Structure 1
Amino acid sequence: MNALEDSNRFTLIRHTDADAWIETIAAEMAQILNHYIDAAGRARMLLSGGTTPAPVYQALAELDVQWDRVEVSLVDERWLSPQDRDSNAWLVRQSLLNRAEGAHFDPLVRVGKPLPECVYTANLQAQHTEAPSLAVFGMGNDGHTASLFPGSKDLARALESTLPYAALDATGCPGSNQWPLRITLTPHGMRQCRQRLLLLRGKQKLEVLKQALESNNAALYPILNAIDLDGRPTLRIHWCD
């Protein structure tokens, strides 16, 4: 069986049109948020950065969601000020928060605080708030997700962590570009998320995903840590060329 057809591990939705990809994902995100708002009065979602999800966030901001009942934070962050244009916080603010009036945002990096203190604060907050209703992941061509980079000296520690967030030094990992210091959601943190989406664009990403699934090596392909979470709803993967 083709590894991409294993419906026991995930649900893969293929889109033939980029606009439909954007609109379908945004609608699904809004539906999830509204479900938890109706059930519990509030919803919390964790978002990834990058150019791939930005148009989805823009479309989501236009949909009917009680944004004053939504808390937003991040799957991961570069060790940059939230005001830095290269930070995930800046992208989420520009594409979603500036349009979704009333939504509350919790950045992972606190200006003036050292990295260990920011990680401590992120974990403290995660442990004292509602479990995330939704987490949106991406994947790099190296098979990383969040800031879990293959080859990082800190990867094993992050994968084994019993806390939601960890610091990670990805020095030497090509996918981290010029920002090796990161705060990242761990597999333990992923397990707390009630619903999970993975957004992919392009044939190369689909081939990387196939290689990851066939390898069954979560250290070589950290994306597997977002897929194989026992006892959680299956990951929904939205792909478009």
Structure 2
Amino acid sequence: MSELVSDRLTLTRHSDAEGWSENVAREMAAILAEEIRLRGRARMLLSGGTTPAPVYARLAEHPLEWARVEVGLADERWLSPQDRDSNAWLVRENFLKLAEGAHFDPLVRVGKPLAECVHDANLLASHSQPACMVVLGMGNDGHTASLFPGSRDLELALGSKQPYAALDATGCPVANDWPLRITLTPRGLAPIGKRLLLLRGKQKLDVLNAALESGDVHKYPVLAAIDTPGAKLHVHWCA
């Protein structure tokens, strides 16, 4: 394991996938434990995707007071939380079922329209204890959360004064069959205590480096996680 520290981010390179998941889970557990010690409760935001799933399972093995932990999402597809393609389902199957007692707040509420779900998410974010940590991923197109380059609502989401925004990613190939999204915005990201970006594979590292060289948040929205004022991004990478 090696670490590179710059004024914009910290990059930790792990030698193998097992060490990567174990070390990230250990860092997450330490952040939660400290927050519980200081404030009595901890709130964190998680992302979906296959990359973080083993990390979540490892995290659940740590002997924390899970009843004192609240879990939200960095973003969500416009799907029922019971749909296997939703981020809620992935978090539930890989973490919540193992971390008994943890409280979960999905972004999508069955029976409510998209605008109302976004309103509820912003209300909750504004009145809840600030999240001590957010776990993010990045696509090969440079998106993070559901901030997709080329999406019609990207500019509105980046400039939103609310923690969450609706986003239509129609025409963005990486959005696949789920163009309608709810996503964390830079405004929502700013007050979060720790920012973790989990990456696997050389291509992801190449995309991150291209983003840093570009400086164009519209081309590489992952830059919102790097350049939004607040906590320095900690990138965990392995091949």
Matches within 5 A, 1:70-85: 70-85=69-84
Matches within 5 A, 1:6-85: 7-85=6-84
CA distance in 1 between partners of 2:231 and 2:157 (Å): 22
Give the equivalent residue in structure 2 for 1:168: 167
Match of 2:6, SS state, is: coil
Amino acid across the alignment from 1:142: D
CA distance in 2 between partners of 1:151 and 1:235 (Å): 24
Amino acid across the alignment from 1:96: F
User: 1:5 offset after TM fit, Å?
Assistant: 5.7
Which residues of structure 1 form unaligned runs of 5+?
Answer: none
CA distance in 1 between partners of 2:233 and 2:221 (Å): 14
Match of 2:190, SS state, is: helix
Give the equivalent residue in structure 2 for 1:237: 235
Matches within 5 A, 1:106-125: 106-125=105-124
Q: Runs of at least 4 residues of structure 1 off by over 3 A?
A: none
CA distance in 2 between partners of 1:5 and 1:19 (Å): 20
Amino acid across the alignment from 2:83: D
User: 1:64 offset after TM fit, Å?
Assistant: 1.5
Q: 2:189 matched to 1:190? A: yes
CA distance in 2 between partners of 1:19 and 1:219 (Å): 34
CA root-mean-square deviation = 1.0
User: 1:206 offset after TM fit, Å?
Assistant: 0.1
CA distance in 2 between partners of 1:64 and 1:228 (Å): 34
Give the equivalent residue in structure 2 for 1:214: 213
Give the equivalent residue in structure 2 for 1:134: 133
CA distance in 1 between partners of 2:63 and 2:100 (Å): 12
* Residue pair 2:20, 2:237 contacting (<8 A) in 1 also: yes
CA distance in 1 between partners of 2:90 and 2:231 (Å): 28
Give the equivalent residue in structure 2 for 1:204: 203
TM-score, normalized by length of structure 1? 0.97
CA distance in 2 between partners of 1:168 and 1:18 (Å): 32
1:189-211: per-residue Cα shift (whole Å, max 9, x none)?
01021111000000000000000
1:89-113: per-residue Cα shift (whole Å, max 9, x none)?
0000000000000000000000000
Give the equivalent residue in structure 1 for 2:180: 181
Give the equivalent residue in structure 2 for 1:143: 142
User: 1:6 offset after TM fit, Å?
Assistant: 6.3
Match of 1:192, SS state, is: coil
CA distance in 2 between partners of 1:64 and 1:27 (Å): 11
CA distance in 1 between partners of 2:4 and 2:176 (Å): 32
Give the fraction of aligned pairs with identical amino acids, expressed as a percent.
66
Amino acid across the alignment from 2:36: I
User: 1:233 offset after TM fit, Å?
Assistant: 2.3
Match of 1:35, SS state, is: helix
User: 1:229 offset after TM fit, Å?
Assistant: 2.2
CA distance in 2 between partners of 1:240 and 1:228 (Å): 23
1:141-185: per-residue Cα shift (whole Å, max 9, x none)?
000000000000000000000100000000000110000000000
Matches within 5 A, 1:151-166: 151-166=150-165
Amino acid across the alignment from 2:191: Q
Matches within 5 A, 1:88-103: 88-103=87-102
Amino acid across the alignment from 2:19: A
Cα distance change of structure 1 residues 6 and 22 upon mapping to structure 2, 3 Å threshold: closer
Amino acid across the alignment from 1:156: E
Amino acid across the alignment from 1:201: R
Which residues of structure 2 form unaligned runs of 5+?
Answer: none
